[in-house]
Amino acid sequence: MGSGGSVLSDSLKDASPAQVAETFGTLSAEDKKKVASALANVGEQDAPKEAAPEKKGPTLSEEQRNMLKAAFEEIDKDKSRAIEANELKAVMAKMNVPLSEEQIDGVFKRADVNKDAKLSFEEYESLVLKSHLSCNMLLQDLFSGSCIIRAEAGLNMAVSGADAVLRCAARSKHRWRDGPRANALEGDFVFDDAYAIVQNPDVYSSSPWFQVFWHDFWGFPLLSDKSHKSYRPLTTLTFRLQMSYAGDRADSAAKMMHSLNVFLHSLNSALLVFLFQTFGFRVGESMLGALLFACHPVHIEAVASLVGRAELLAALLSILSLLSHSTPLALVLAGLALLCKETAAVVALPLCSCLQLRKSRLKALLPILWLCLLIPLRLLLHGGMQARPFLHRESNPGAFAEDWLSRILTLHYYLFRHLQLLVWPHPLCCDWSHGSIPLLESPADLRVAAFWVYALPAGLLKVSRIREGSHTGVILSSLLIFLSLLPASNLLFSVGFTVAERVLYLPSLGFCGILGHVLGRGTGATGQRCLRLGVAGVVLALWSYSCLQHSRAWWTAEALYRAGLQANPRNEKLHDLLATRLQNSGGDLQEATWHAEQAIALNPFYWHAHASLGQLKSAAGQRAQAVKHYKRALRLAEQQHLDDVADAPKVRLNLAVMLQDSDAKAAEHHFRRFEEAASQELRQMGLLIFGAFLESRDPKEAAERYEQALRDQGPHHGVAHLRLGSLLRRLANASAASGAAAPAAVQRVATPKATQASPKQRSEGNETEAPGLRVGDSWRAAWGQCWRRAVPWSVPCLPDWDLVEKDGTCKRDIPPTWQVLRRWWRCMWTFANSGEQGSCRLKTTDASGRAEVETETEILSTWPLPATEERALHHLQQGLLTSAPSALDPGGRKRREAMAVVGARLTLARRHGEARALLGAAPQEVLPQLATEQLKVGNAAVALEAFRAAASLQQTASTHLGIAAALEQLGQAGPGRG
């Protein structure tokens, strides 16, 4: 919980004293201290200025203040020296901050001390300081922390600080809401929701919709070794539809998704009244069973967790299939249920067959035959019986037990715990893996006595025989429990969990039906009936109260992990998750460190706990300890074959960045290993950091890394353009200053087709230039690279193939198949002969610089990219069009450099309208500022050009002094500087 006392005061205005006292009593001791501190700040803010004592708060260093000013100017698009609300909203929208416009407006009004609907720099600085977050804590969500910050020695504190304050404001505003329905409707993405929804590309409209039918529930291809083989495309499609309706913003879709889960559970509870009557129960028994189902505490996870929608949809379609068991629609609904959850068809179709036995034995065979057809088709989707799901040893220790007797006893005990939670739903926990349930080593273990529970169905059948005919419903309900628990029992195959409360959603249908029959029977003496109804009332009251209490835990991730540790203190995963959450949210680092150390004490071989502890040590400035735990984490991940999944690539990136100053060789090794294992979005970020590491060692390879980052999918294309353009410009200037001839590619781009030299003349006239693919590249790499170039619509808009207009659109025509094959063949021929030739339409300007003419030119596509001024300007312009404030461009320095270069070129070319659109209403004032910044960081060439452009607009003494200073710095630096 950060600062934001005024937000707390506003949220408390509508809360009664009883609500405040109740909520305050449920807080931990640490949270009480934070709330008390925030309330104290409210009192000081509301007091008159003359009565308020002078209070020292956090301050910024000079370097941080300069970074803050640069970020402030970046957000201030209209250059009015003040930030307006719409400008702040635009920045937050680009950052995907999960807050509504009303919440941002509220924080903006509180920060606006002068009440002029604008934030001055002083007001914005105060807003950032109120977050009380250090630079080392602003990138924890990327699991990169201070390491990535060190890569560029800074951070865009303005945007990150405002983000932290706004998040704090949202938490403070919602903290005082009570009631389980508010939690269920407005909860966040917690636990597995982040992997199945937020980080799943199939949920967003940017990916093709049909991919959901070839990927698993978590977004991995079904045939991949990393896939869990959980095939639930219809569930993923519901997430995708809601996310698309919310504009692909997860924060806007969260409430809508939770609302649908609550609606589905309510609908299932209502339909159970009719299903139980179909089973043979009376109306009163059916209604009581439906009420018990609606209030059962074991359903909290299935309803409050968005991942539990698979259970809700599978149950809904299964109930509808059973209600229509006598029609062909039942088979269709059961097949659709299989697309929501794997176990659904195994439940619905056999029960449909049992219900059909009352009428026709022949028709009873149809559901079984349909099931026998669906199961092989389902297995074929993920590679057949030999394709096993990817399972972690810690997620199901019993399945990986070395002793066969221990394995059998432990797996049966897992099944007993499932049945126990149906009957006695306490304690409840979001995770039962790792060390939550110790292995049963021998039959002497007292827990073996729990296996008497297998006699429970026979006892229920005995009780149900009091009234003739009632046992049919009990048999069907018992069969429902057995069939729905069988896939999760580890008896047929190993699953990825020990005990999971959400998989009890379907079995509870049968259990609640039996319980409703036992407690709601109308037979017997009046006293017996009253006693049974009294017991039913007590059970409903206790279960409802349990739902009220436990649903609060699913409001935030921190509350969920704390509640889990209360029920499960031996679970090292929950300790690790809580440590990571405290670190990411700016919580108590000492408590986070304690939880990480506790996780390691419980399981010294838990690699992720070592990674979390290394992150915390890095944030605390203990570099040696951080490196030690990072290395230990990666070593354990490699031993457990997890070095290319989960968070291991992020840990490797952290270690690489941390070692780049002390051990450059080891850092380079980890950078290259990271490229092999990381996902595309994460790899893009790593490629940019690796490129920055290589710029001073091998600039050409650094340019290759930046271009690879442009090819990968991710949010950092703008930064990649800026970095690549800046590097290519420095290389071009260095080549020109050293007196070297312009690269062949540059000459060809500027040469009309009619006067273009032949390939033979080119090879004879330029023996030093070796265009095209490097001879050292393998044929396999050349094959793939040539194919990507031959099929231009399969890759992003790149200058290799397309010439990009000022608005960022590509002028490309889809070629026919024969042209694609010809391009591929020419590329491969070029690889063998070290030359490549292609044609493209190039838009250039005439001598006046105004009219555009289109000419057919011959271009040479080389690898690595040719270092030309034109290509550098193209990337800088693209970076300005597509980039947003990013931690990978700390302080917006690369963006400021691009603004100086492109703004100067536009001004010198007399394209003043475009210059004003880029720099603001007064380019003559902005250009000297940008030039001075570049001069301070030693980029004299850029500063000189910007000063000259400013002088062309307005002759002042400062611009001429700036030109003199830039020339002096260039003279001292020698050729190639800047």
Q: Is residue 453 very low, low, confident or very high in pLDDT (cuts 50, 70, 90)?
A: low
Q: Which two tokens stand for residue 491?
A: 């008896």
Mean pLDDT of 798-803: 31
User: What pLDDT score was predicted for residue 628?
Assistant: 93
In DSSP terms, 752 is beta-bridged to 857
Among residues 556, 555, 457, the alpha carbon closest in space to that of 507 is found at 457
Q: Please report, to the nearest 10 degrees, the dihedral formed by the alpha carbons of residues 771, 774, 775, 779 taken in order.
A: -120
The answer to whether 507 and 452 have CB atoms below 8 angstroms apart is: no
Mean pLDDT of 189-204: 88
168 has a pLDDT exceeding 70: no
pLDDT per residue as tens digits for the range 269-293: 999 999 999 998 999 999 999 999 9
User: What pLDDT score was predicted for residue 171?
Assistant: 38
Q: What is the mean pLDDT of the chain?
A: 74
Q: Which of the given ranges, 207-216, 520-529, 566-575, has the highest pLDDT on average?
A: 566-575
Alpha-carbon gap, residue 385 to 819, rounded angstroms: 43
Q: Is residue 182 very low, low, confident or very high in pLDDT (cuts 50, 70, 90)?
A: very low
192 has a pLDDT exceeding 90: no
User: What pLDDT score was predicted for residue 186?
Assistant: 60
Mean pLDDT of 862-874: 65
Collect all residues with Cβ–Cβ distance below 8 Å to 35 and sequence separation of at least 6: 1, 8, 24, 27
Q: Which two tokens stand for residue 949?
A: 């452009």
Q: Is residue 797 very low, low, confident or very high in pLDDT (cuts 50, 70, 90)?
A: very low
In DSSP terms, 859 is beta-bridged to 838
Q: In percent, how much of the chain has pLDDT > 70?
A: 68
User: What pLDDT score was predicted for residue 524?
Assistant: 65
pLDDT per residue as tens digits for the range 694-741: 988 888 888 888 988 888 777 788 888 899 988 988 888 777 766 544
Alpha-carbon gap, residue 204 to 679, rounded angstroms: 17
Among residues 206, 716, 517, the alpha carbon closest in space to that of 219 is found at 206
The answer to whether 674 and 691 have CB atoms below 8 angstroms apart is: no
799 has a pLDDT exceeding 60: no
Q: Which residues of 314-338 are buried (b: 16+ CB within 10 A; e: fewer)?
A: bbbbbbbbbbbbeeeebbebbbbbb
Alpha-carbon gap, residue 239 to 253, rounded angstroms: 9
Q: Is residue 318 very low, low, confident or very high in pLDDT (cuts 50, 70, 90)?
A: very high
Q: Which residues of 719-750 are buried (b: 16+ CB within 10 A; e: fewer)?
A: bbbbbbbbbbbbbbbbbebeeeeebbbbbbbe
With DSSP H G I counted as helix, E B as strand and the rest as coil, what are the percentages for the chain, rounded to 5? 65, 0, 30
Task: Identify the residue with better confidence: 921 or 444.
Answer: 444
Mean pLDDT of 765-779: 36
User: What pLDDT score was predicted for residue 314?
Assistant: 95
What are the angstrom distances between the C-alpha of 907 and each of 468, 677, 726, 897? Answer: 95, 45, 19, 15
30 has a pLDDT exceeding 60: no
680 has a pLDDT exceeding 90: no
Q: Which two tokens stand for residue 99?
A: 């807050």
Collect all residues with Cβ–Cβ distance below 8 Å to 739 and sequence separation of at least 6: none
Among residues 735, 777, 722, the alpha carbon closest in space to that of 941 is found at 735
- The neighbour count for residue 168, using CB atoms within 10 Å, is 24
Q: Which two tokens stand for residue 360?
A: 């026709």
DSSP 13-77: HTS-HHHHHHHHHTS-HHHHHHHHHHHHHHHHHHS-TTTSPP-------HHHHHHHHHHHHHH-T
Position 682, amino acid? L
Task: Identify the residue with better confidence: 510 or 52.
Answer: 510
pLDDT per residue as tens digits for the range 251-273: 788 888 999 999 999 999 999 99
SS3 state of residue 920: coil
The answer to whether 238 and 313 have CB atoms below 8 angstroms apart is: yes
Do you find a cis peptide bond into 427, omega within 30 degrees of 0?
yes
DSSP 716-758: -HHHHHHHHHHHHHHHHHHHHHTTPPPPHHHHHHTSBGGGPPP
Mean pLDDT of 906-931: 87
Q: Which two tokens stand for residue 131?
A: 């977050």
User: What pLDDT score was predicted for residue 48?
Assistant: 38
Element (H, E) at 948: helix 940-953
Q: What's the pTM value of the predicted model, to 2 decimals?
A: 0.67
User: What pLDDT score was predicted for residue 200?
Assistant: 87
User: What pLDDT score was predicted for residue 62?
Assistant: 67
Alpha-carbon gap, residue 804 to 843, rounded angstroms: 9
User: What pLDDT score was predicted for residue 295?
Assistant: 94
2 has a pLDDT exceeding 60: no
pLDDT per residue as tens digits for the range 594-642: 999 999 999 999 999 999 999 999 988 899 999 999 999 999 988 887 7
- Beta-strand (E) ranges in 159-199? none
SS3 state of residue 301: helix
The answer to whether 474 and 464 have CB atoms below 8 angstroms apart is: yes
